Chains A and B, each alone.
Chain A
């Protein structure tokens, strides 16, 4: 079994858990035991939740998807997760600019710990007060578009949209 560890991180309310759930629902003929409802490593509502889902897309191939907790005080978990990751997705809620500095912090942290393929997914684009992706890129410190990672809009509830985002990420891996 070849397994890729994927980390989904991001700001509060960006839809990390939903993204992970949508991704795992793509599973080909998901065996029952995968859907026992225990999708959170800890119960969903607790602040310390690490999401974990698997997506098996081939008999011998699967991705394990880990979601980081949002709260700053759990950032030691980022390290644990990123050390084992092959690639990651940073999700940012476009309508919560107050969280952008936090996203930048995550980004810096991840870059320090691992040089691995990544993309930035912008969610909640259709909400009131949503920033435009290019503005968010600037807020994250990307003043030069050639150096920035791919930035894609994602609807985390839509499987196809999540698939698109993952395709962009995988293209980074090639």
Chain B
């Protein structure tokens, strides 16, 4: 799997989407595949947390009969952290500021996910 073009896709997504501050592509077992994250964030740590959050979220989805998890959203006072599956082999994390419009953001994320899926296949 070549990652060099994923970097380009992530950068294109972060540069071209209002209110998005960073993005990372992570393997389901918590290893970073590619990332464009704010300088203060550690790629390895972030990746591990994404994987932990995803498995926890999936478990909750199952337990509460919510079916398969489409995305996991963390809304904090400084903004959003959104996790979205990218096929079986990757998870996309998106960091967005508080001013982001959720609907618009989800649309852009979906677009990025479909582009990444193609690049991964």
Contacts and interface: CB of A to CB of B under 8 A. Distances in A.
B72 interface: no
Nearest to B29: A84
A1 interface: yes
B52 interface: yes
B63 A76 contact: yes
Contact of B31 (A3, A76, A80): A3
Q: Do most interface residues of chain B lie in helix, strand or loop, or is the interface mixed?
A: helix
* Chain A, interface SS category: mixed
Contacts of B63: 76
Interface stretch (B3-11, B15-23, B37-45): B37-45
B52 A34 contact: no
Interface of B: 29-31, 40-42, 44-45, 48-49, 51-52, 55-56, 59, 63
A100 interface: no
A80 B30 contact: no
Given A76-B63, A84-B30, A34 B56 contact: no
Given A1-B44, A33-B40, 12 more contacts: A1-B31, A3-B31, A3-B44, A34-B45, A41-B49, A50-B52, A54-B48, A76-B63, A79-B59, A80-B52, A84-B29, A84-B55
Nearest to B56: A80
Most buried by A among B29, B31, B56, B59: B56
Nearest to A80: B55
Interface residues of A, number: 21
A31 B55 CA distance: 28
A80 B44 contact: no
Contact of B49 (A3, A34, A52, A77): A52
Contacts of B40: 33, 36
B30 A64 contact: yes
> What are the 5 tightest A-B residue pairs by CB atom distance, in nearest-first order?
A80-B55, A33-B42, A64-B48, A76-B59, A80-B59
Contacts of A77: 56, 59
Contacts of B41: 33
A152 interface: no
